[in-house]
């Protein structure tokens, strides 16, 4: 049978362009049919009208096209085959079956070419009953007709029907052409259909198409998708002629299988053989470099891309940005991003992730707000990064808005997004919402379980954290290193020393997770907080790792709590050898010497700090009221309601009498002792609490965030305020959450 070809009445591109010039743009591009009138009785060929009809169909304006068809009928203007083709193509793209059937009815006795167009439309609309009905009625089917129906079935994954038609073709003696083979092979996309792919491969060889580039490329890619990389490589190596699709197909197979080095080896081979490269080749190669963190090779490829003038292309520029971010070269990433002519959602996601990595969370939020304002396309990775930024900033309002927006757009990532939400709500003090987010997940993975366990651990809910860990053990998820950090932290913050020891010992034996220095530091912390300082010291000196600064700092913290000067001096000496700029070590030793009345030694500690020009980060507390963040520092008098705040603070401080016997805390080391008592009264969290009391309704909990660890006196102050006012107060310091109510704290003073 003769194959179909374009109808002779289709105008050439040059002629069409010339005729389009005669149609006003307001008519051809944006007006409805009512603004384009056809003189009655017009008997001309109708090129202008048909071009307008094509324009409407290409814009997807099917209603306007229907109205215009009526006008053409009334005016006696014939619709040419090219117009029908465009209309049918538009119906298929928009899955408008009703419009497609209307066009089909208009055709009467169409040519074989137009019948094939109708057949393609029915397949695109997934109306295979109508497609089969038309196919069976066709008197002159050609290979293209068979191919259209077979492709329609195979593209929709209906392989049984596709191969039924293939069998019929073979039985009728109709040869399968390269298009049929290519479409069938493209539909085979997982190992379950490997046997069918092998049979097709054999049939290709028997039909003499084994030298056809498109068919052999499809075979190679079929083996890639069926995870048969060795066979794909064998087919690829035997190709007489290769194309970019074949190279990229095999490279993608390697990267998906985690064989990035093999993908890069193919790229080097392409360079040596002088194969023409396109954007997809560079994209895959750069992604492989990112995965392996091959910065030098990535820079060389970037240079080659610049030489070819492709750096402004989004499909190439985005992987360049991602490479530099993965390799911690943010300045290079920022420069590469600026050169992308039209960044897409993946580009914005990459640069937002980069800003989050370097701690510029406010900048990432600024970009996000700009994207929302411009109604730009988003993806789930953007929302996950923004949620993480809001977690770091404890920006509840922005995070909640982003969460609602992600749900509305259907862009909550199942892999990381839901877990990021759990962490966000936990870090913002809304453990109730974190629980809701967790319980809404059908099958929580390891990351989700870890997020909720750590959330309860840092809120001091040890019993709930361990209960969740036991639930996790009954699920299909397996704990990882971070999970055990959460479990051990929960034990440490609640004095569960025996339980912590058992969990540490069971990690490798029962769960196959090898403990790291971080896990041993958690155990040191558990011993030290509980006053088991000798056990903590022995663990530090005998554990299977060289102690790090945190090991000695945990021990020193315990020595300060339990006033053990002898071990404290040992811990401080080792800590400051490993990290001589750790201000916390000096402060703890200053306090420890002061608690023993050794003021000369305390003065020397302070002198060393001065000589090293060490300045403790200024204490800052903040509270969000009515969507606005209010920040306070020690002795702050810059707030618009300063007088009201200090009046309330004076009222609250008046009933507290324990400020005489105080010790210097982390945030007070830079101030002189004569000013100590007054400064204590004006600590940043006290100012924030006072502001919260005069600003929030009585039924609203007061939630304060602080950048440093809370001191004992402000902790007692918060307990006192919760008792005399009856208000619930939550303070998140640098270590954990404290929930105050009726004079008690969730930590039971164990912190």
> What values do phi and psi take at 308, rounded to 5?
-85, -5
- Residue 412: CB atoms within 10 Å: 21
Task: Find the mean pLDDT for residues 250-256.
Answer: 94
Q: Are residues 281 and 251 in contact, defined by beta-carbon separation less than 8 angstroms?
A: yes
Task: With residue 525 as reference, give the H or E element that holds it.
Answer: helix 517-529
Could you please report the per-residue DSSP string of 308-362?
HT-TTSHHHHHHHHHHHHHTT-HHHHHHHHHT-SS--HHHHHHHHHHHHHTT-HH
Measured in whole angstroms, the distance separating CA 70 from the mean position of its chain's CA atoms is: 50
Q: What is the pLDDT of residue 255?
A: 94
Which residues have a Cβ under 8 Å from the Cβ of 93 and sit 6 or more positions away? 60, 124
Residue 525 class from Cβ within 10 Å (0-12 exposed, 13-18 middle, 19+ buried)? Answer: buried
* In the chain, % of residues over pLDDT 70: 90
Measured in whole angstroms, the distance separating CA 322 from the mean position of its chain's CA atoms is: 13
- Residue 640's SS3 state is coil
Cα–Cα distance between 411 and 416 in angstroms, integer? Answer: 11
Measured in whole angstroms, the distance separating CA 257 from the mean position of its chain's CA atoms is: 21
Q: Give the strand pairing for 702-706 and 729-732.
A: parallel
Q: What is the pLDDT of residue 662?
A: 43
Which residues have a Cβ under 8 Å from the Cβ of 712 and sit 6 or more positions away? 665
Banded model confidence at residue 666, pLDDT cuts 50, 70, 90: very low
Would the pLDDT of 730 be above 70?
yes
- The predicted-structure confidence for 155-198, as pLDDT tens digits, reads as follows 888 888 888 888 888 888 887 888 888 888 988 888 988 998 89
- The predicted-structure confidence for 93-151, as pLDDT tens digits, reads as follows 999 999 999 999 988 888 999 999 999 999 999 999 999 999 998 888 888 899 899 98
User: 624 forms bridges with which residues in the sheet?
Assistant: 629
Choose from 195-209, 355-369, 407-421 the range with maximum mean pLDDT. Answer: 355-369
* In the chain, % of residues over pLDDT 90: 58
The single-letter DSSP state of residue 675 is G
Cα–Cα distance between 365 and 386 in angstroms, integer? Answer: 7
- Residue 106: CB atoms within 10 Å: 13
Cα–Cα distance between 433 and 410 in angstroms, integer? Answer: 19
Instruction: Mark residue 36 as left, alpha or beta (left: phi above 0; alpha: psi -120 to 50; beta: remaining).
Output: beta
Task: Find the mean pLDDT for residues 572-595.
Answer: 92
- The predicted-structure confidence for 47-96, as pLDDT tens digits, reads as follows 888 999 999 999 989 999 999 999 888 888 889 999 999 999 999 999 99
Q: Are residues 479 and 472 in contact, defined by beta-carbon separation less than 8 angstroms?
A: yes
Please work out, in degrees rounded to the nearest 5, the angle formed at the alpha carbon of residue 568 by the alpha carbons of 562 and 569: 155
Q: From residue 104, give the alpha-carbon distance in Å to each of 111, 114, 143, 248, 389.
A: 12, 9, 21, 40, 55
Residue 69 class from Cβ within 10 Å (0-12 exposed, 13-18 middle, 19+ buried)? Answer: buried
Q: Are residues 219 and 231 in contact, defined by beta-carbon separation less than 8 angstroms?
A: no
**Alpha helix stretches (DSSP H) within 59-158:** 62-75, 81-93, 97-107, 112-124, 128-137, 143-155
> What values do phi and psi take at 741, rounded to 5?
-160, 130
Q: What is the pLDDT of residue 415?
A: 66
Q: From residue 301, give the alpha-carbon distance in Å to each of 110, 291, 350, 438.
A: 54, 15, 19, 43
Task: Find the mean pLDDT for residues 260-284.
Answer: 92
Cα–Cα distance between 53 and 334 in angstroms, integer? Answer: 46
Q: Are residues 215 and 208 in contact, defined by beta-carbon separation less than 8 angstroms?
A: no
Which residues have a Cβ under 8 Å from the Cβ of 359 and sit 6 or more positions away? 392
Q: Which of 270, 264, 265, 195 is nearest to 228 (CA)?
A: 195
Q: What is the mean pLDDT of the chain?
A: 87
- The predicted-structure confidence for 10-20, as pLDDT tens digits, reads as follows 334 334 333 43
Banded model confidence at residue 675, pLDDT cuts 50, 70, 90: low
Cα–Cα distance between 739 and 702 in angstroms, integer? Answer: 10
pTM over the 0.85 mark: no
Q: Are residues 303 and 333 in contact, defined by beta-carbon separation less than 8 angstroms?
A: no
- Residue 55's SS3 state is helix
Would the pLDDT of 33 be above 50?
no
Would the pLDDT of 671 be above 60?
no
Question: Of 243-257, 385-399, 403-417, which range is least confident?
Answer: 403-417
Which residues have a Cβ under 8 Å from the Cβ of 455 and sit 6 or more positions away? 422, 423, 425, 426, 427, 431, 434
Task: With residue 730 as reference, give the H or E element that holds it.
Answer: strand 729-732
């Amino acid at each position: 049978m003769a194959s179909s070809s374009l109808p002779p009445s289709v105008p050439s591109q040059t002629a069409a362009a010339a005729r389009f010039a005669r149609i006003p743009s307001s008519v051809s591009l944006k007006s409805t049919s009512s603004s384009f009138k056809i003189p009655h009785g017009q008997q001309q060929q109708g090129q202008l009208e048909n071009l307008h009809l094509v324009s409407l169909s290409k814009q997807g304006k099917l209603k306007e096209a229907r109205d215009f068809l009526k006008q053409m009928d009334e005016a006696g203007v014939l619709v040419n085959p090219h117009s029908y083709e465009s209309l049918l193509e538009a119906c298929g793209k928009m899955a408008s079956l009703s419009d497609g059937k209307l066009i089909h009815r208009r055709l009467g006795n169409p040519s074989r070419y137009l019948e094939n167009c109708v057949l393609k439309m029915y397949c695109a609309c997934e109306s295979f009953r109508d497609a089969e009905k038309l196919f069976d009625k066709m008197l002159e089917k050609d290979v293209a007709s068979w191919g259209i129906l077979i492709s329609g079935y195979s593209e929709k994954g209906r392989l049984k029907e596709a191969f039924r038609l293939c069998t019929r073709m073979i039985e009728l003696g109709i040869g399968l052409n390269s298009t049929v083979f290519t479409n069938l092979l493209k539909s085979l996309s997982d190992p379950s259909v490997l046997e069918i792919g092998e049979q097709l491969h054999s049939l290709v060889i028997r039909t003499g198409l084994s030298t056809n580039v498109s068919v052999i490329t499809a075979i190679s890619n079929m083996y890639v998708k069926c995870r048969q990389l060795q066979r794909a490589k064998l087919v690829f190596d035997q190709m007489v002629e290769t194309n970019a699709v074949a190279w990229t197909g095999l490279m993608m197979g390697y990267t998906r299988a985690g064989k990035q080095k093999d993908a890069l080896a193919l790229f080097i081979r392409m360079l040596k053989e002088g194969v023409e490269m396109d954007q997809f080749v560079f994209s895959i190669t750069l992604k492989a470099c990112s995965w392996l963190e091959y910065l030098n090779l990535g820079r060389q490829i970037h240079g080659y891309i610049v030489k070819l003038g492709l750096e402004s292309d989004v499909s190439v520029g985005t992987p360049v940005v991602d490479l530099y971010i993965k390799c911690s070269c943010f300045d290079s990433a920022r420069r590469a991003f600026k050169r992308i002519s039209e960044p897409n959602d993946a580009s914005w996601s990459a640069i937002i992730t980069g800003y989050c990595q370097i701690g510029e969370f406010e900048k990432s939020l600024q970009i996000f707000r700009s994207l929302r304002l411009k109604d730009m396309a988003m993806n789930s990775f953007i929302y996950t990064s923004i949620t993480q930024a809001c977690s770091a900033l404890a920006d509840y309002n922005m995070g909640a808005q982003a969460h609602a927006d992600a749900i509305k757009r259907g862009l909550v990532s199942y892999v990381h997004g839901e877990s990021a939400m759990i962490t966000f709500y936990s870090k913002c003090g809304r453990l109730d919402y974190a629980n809701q987010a967790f319980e809404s997940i059908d099958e929580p993975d390891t990351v989700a379980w870890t997020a909720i366990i750590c959330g309860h651990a840092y809120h001091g809910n040890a019993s709930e954290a361990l209960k969740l860990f036991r639930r996790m053990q009954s699920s299909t998820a397996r704990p990882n290193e971070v999970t055990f950090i959460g479990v051990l932290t929960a034990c440490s913050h609640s004095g569960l020393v025996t339980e912590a020891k058992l969990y540490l010992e069971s990690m490798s034996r029962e769960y196959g997770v090898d403990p790291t220095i971080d896990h041993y530091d958690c155990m040191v912390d558990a011993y030290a907080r509980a006053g088991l300082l000798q056990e903590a010291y022995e663990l530090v000196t005998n554990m299977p790792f060289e102690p790090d600064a945190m090991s000695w700092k945990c021990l020193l913290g315990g020595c300060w709590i339990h006033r053990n000067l002898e071990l404290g001096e040992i811990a401080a000496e080792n800590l400051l050898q490993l990290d001589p700029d750790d201000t916390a070590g000096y402060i703890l030793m200053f306090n420890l010497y002061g608690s023993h009345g050794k003021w000369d030694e305390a003065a020397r500690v302070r002198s060393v700090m001065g000589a090293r020009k060490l300045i403790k980060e200024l204490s800052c507390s903040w509270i969000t009221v009515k969507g606005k963040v209010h920040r306070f520092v020690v002795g702050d008098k810059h707030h618009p309601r300063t007088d009201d705040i200090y009046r309330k603070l004076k009222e609250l401080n008046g009933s507290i009498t324990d400020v005489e016997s105080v010790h210097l805390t982390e945030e007070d080391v830079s101030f002189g002792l004569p000013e100590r008592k007054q400064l204590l009264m004006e600590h940043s969290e006290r100012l924030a609490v006072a502001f919260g009391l005069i600003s929030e309704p009585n039924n609203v909990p007061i939630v304060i965030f602080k950048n440093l660890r809370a001191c004992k006196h402000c902790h007692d102050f918060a307990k006192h305020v919760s008792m005399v006012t009856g208000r619930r107060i939550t303070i998140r310091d640098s270590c954990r959450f404290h929930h105050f109510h009726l004079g008690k704290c969730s930590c039971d003073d164990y912190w």
